[in-house]
Amino acid sequence: MTERTANNAPLIRTVGLRKLYTTEEVETTALDNVNLEIAAGEFAAIMGPSGCGKSTLLNLLGLLDNPTEGEYWLLNEEVATYSERVRANLRKGTIGFVFQSFNLISELTVYENVELPLLYMDVAAKERRQRVRAMLDQMQITHREKHFPLQLSGGQQQRVAVARALVSEPKLVLADEPTGNLDSRHGDEVMEMLTEMNKNGTTVVMVTHSPAYADFAHRIIHLFDGRIVSENIEREREA
């Protein structure tokens, strides 16, 4: 497990983060005064009832959206008000995403899905091949590289999604209910993969409803009505 010290600067820091959704008839507060720090190398789980703001928070941390108010510091850079173009450039090679619904592109093969982030980063063809092959080997899906997502089981699709998230060697992986569509065996496999990538130095922030899977994390952050209501004492998992 990655060692954490008091001297580690936070990879993520939010100050007074708020997110409002407004229509002609109603204003909804999705996040309200969220103050959060996550250190480099940490594995944090976010829990709470449906509609409490978990996925909204993950979207903000992943630069998929901007907050309505507050500060968001990522890698010591204040990014809360960045435009989509700047946010997209910052996401490349910095953030990897693993979603409950996999979000694989059905028209692309396994190999092509995993390669896609490297194409966005303009990685040279030879290096792309090396990195994709290595990641497929690590996820034990090389034998499926020419298959399309719909030809795979749920567990295999999630392995492809994890491979795609990691192939760019991101500093941060955000996982939104990554086991939600999987049976217990495949869910356990995904959690072991997330744990292994964290041991190798990747910071992981995961949204989950499962107390058992949340226990894989160093720290559990509880949200309710858009606010952080409690955090457990940080701890290291035994090897």
Return mean pLDDT, the chain: 89
pLDDT of residue 8: 57
| CA gap 148, 132 in Å, rounded | 16
Strand segments, DSSP code E, in the chain are 10-22, 27-39, 43-47, 69-74, 77-78, 95-99, 172-176, 203-207, 219-224, 227-231
**Is 197 a residue whose pLDDT tops 90?**
no
| CA gap 167, 127 in Å, rounded | 11
pLDDT of residue 4: 41
Length of the chain: 239
Burial class (CB in 10 A: 0-12, 13-18, 19+), 150: exposed
> Per the structure block, which two tokens stand in for 111?
């190999």
The single residue listed with the structure tokens 């959704």 is 21
> Per the structure block, which two tokens stand in for 103?
């979000």
CB 28 within 8 A of CB 226: no
- pLDDT (tens digit, 9 = 90+) per residue, 38-73? 999 999 999 999 999 999 999 999 999 999 999 999
| CA gap 218, 205 in Å, rounded | 10
- pLDDT (tens digit, 9 = 90+) per residue, 106-140? 999 999 999 999 999 999 999 999 999 999 998 88
